[in-house]
Structure 1
Amino acid sequence: MDLCSVDPGWARLLQPMAAELDAVGEFLDHETEVGRPWLPEPEAVLRAFQTPFDDVRVLIVGQDPYPTPGHPIGLAFSTDREVRPLPRSLANIYRELKDDLGIPPAAHGDLSAWQRQGVLLLNRVLTVQVAETGSHRRHGWEEVTAHAIRALAERPQPLVAVLWGKDAASIVPLLGDTPVVVSPHPSPLSASRGFFGSQPFSRVNAALEAQGGAAIDWRIDP
């Protein structure tokens, strides 16, 4: 898989994962050959790694892309601007954002404004078969993203990790001393069990400032 489209810092750090990336690429080629379409579009698969490595201040960990054509754009929890209605997990994130910081929900689901401020929206698995959530697990992506997470945690720069749900919380051993904000997943199945009221956005900003970093402007359309 070609790293030319990613940030040069990430390209260098992911080079030791060349064999794993090649294996994932071969798997995706095979899926295409046998008629199993997958998402997101090829040019968006590594989009999260366009966030400059040295600029990452917040890591938000997702599971895998939305499995609906036209929805995923390569950033965890984010959708194409034209998607209506918003995925329910994202709608719950917006609800908590309003309750936490008073920011009104955006009309669209494109979280690029967060990415531009150094928020790495990283799924553990970067592709998915259409209509089959979790279908590309255990094909190499987990090793690649684990390597990326370890690299972030080893930097001296301020960093906070946001871990929503059990899958995300499982990466805690990769994070070293990185401060974490942990809660249930924003999915409709679990949001009422502790995601609502968890104040992740204000907690992230407090943790960044405690490390000498700048707060994130969490508005979607600043």
Structure 2
Amino acid sequence: MPRLPLDQVMSPDWAAALAPVEPRLRAIGDALRAESAAGRPWLPGPDAVLRAFARPLAEVRVLVVGQDPYPTPGHAVGLAFSVAPDVRPLPRSLANIYTELQADLGCTPGPTGDLTPWTHQGVLLLNRVLTVGVGAPASHQRLGWQEVTDQAVRALVARGGPLVAVLWGRQAAEVRPLLGDVRVVSSAHPSPLSAARGFFGSRPFSAVDALLEEQGAPAVRWCPSPPSSGRSG
């Protein structure tokens, strides 16, 4: 992870918001360098670890909380659930998100697993833990990332709306006490281990759009193509 000042690795307003946890970020950086020195590689690449904070805090209107990065080399890109455009096949969780997106809105998802277009519309794709050991899911849970990402959530709540939080799964639900009056869309995680137990059929995308519109904000363009004529509901 870069040793540069926060305002050189993220948006200035995020740098200000995360200043209270800068000591924790520095400690995590030291721990990651120790992991590398010990021959234990981790993901994503150092320049992508804080990528979720690249766009301004002021733009965020949807917070999507994930768990930790994909542990497969080449998959983790610093944005929860997203992968690089050339990744095939898609990770199962992302494939399930696309399945639900099509069922919910009746539109065809993007041709790749790159969710960057969502971030350009104010969707913050934030994992609870921002690094992971290669091939070792949840291996960096004890580095202290939750202190950092909890601070990010608090900053969004303090800023005020419009804001909708999307909480998929148990780890995402841990931030709910921090959200105050923020409107929440929640369900099981899209992982293949749990998607059939409440994620499929939850229609989170249309729910988020409805809650945004209640707050006077425009809907998110979740799909690059218009809805098909076969949309139901």
TM over 0.5: yes
2:205 match: 201
Matched AA of 1:112: T
Give the distance between the partners of 1:43 and 1:121, measured in 2 at CA.
16
**1:20 is aligned to 2:28:** no
Cα offset for 1:51?
2.2
Instruction: Summarize the Cα distance change of 1:89–1:123 in structure 2 as closer, same or farther, 3 Å threshold.
Output: same
Return the alpha-carbon distance in structure 2 between the equivalents of residues 219 and 135 of structure 1.
33
Alignment of 1:1-222 (within 5 A): 1-2=3-4, 3=6, 4-220=8-224
- The answer as to whether partners of 1:113 and 1:221 remain within 8 angstroms in 2 is no
Instruction: Please list the CA deviations of residues 160-214 of structure 1 after superposition, one character each: whole Å capped at 9, or x if unmatched.
Output: 0000011111110011110000000111111111111100000000001111111
- Please give the secondary structure, in 2, of the residue aligned with 1:154: helix
What SS does the corresponding residue of 1:125 show, helix, strand or coil? coil
Secondary structure at 2:124's aligned position in 1?
A: strand
What is the RMSD of the two structures over their aligned residues, measured on CA atoms?
Answer: 1.2
Aligned counterparts of 1:168 and 1:71: Cα–Cα separation in 2: 20
Q: Which consecutive segments of 4 or more residues in structure 1 shift more than 3 A?
A: none
**Structure-2 separation of matches of 1:159 and 1:126:** 22
Report the TM-score when normalising by structure 1. 0.97
Q: Distance in 2 between matches of 1:221 and 1:122?
A: 25
The superposition leaves residues 122-169 of structure 1 with CA deviations (integer Å, 9 ceiling, x where unpaired) of 001000010000000121111000000011011122000000011111
Identity %: 61
Between the aligned partners of 1:61 and 1:189, the Cα distance in structure 2 is 18
SS of aligned partner of 1:120: strand
Deviation at 1:38, TM superposition (A): 0.5
Does 9-18 or 100-109 show the bigger shift? 100-109
State the TM-score, normalized to the length of structure 2.
Answer: 0.93
Q: Which ranges in structure 1 are unaligned for 5 or more consecutive residues? A: none
Cα distance per residue 1:20-76 (max 9 Å; x no partner): 001000000100110000000000000000121000000000000000111111000
The CA deviation string for residues 58-97 of structure 1, in whole angstroms up to 9 with x for no partner, is 0000000000111111000000111100001100000000
Distance 1:212 1:88, change over 3 A: same
Matches of 2:138 and 2:213 in 1, distance apart? Answer: 36
8 Å Cα contact 1:17-1:144 kept in structure 2 = yes
Q: Which runs of 5+ in 2 are unaligned?
A: 227-233
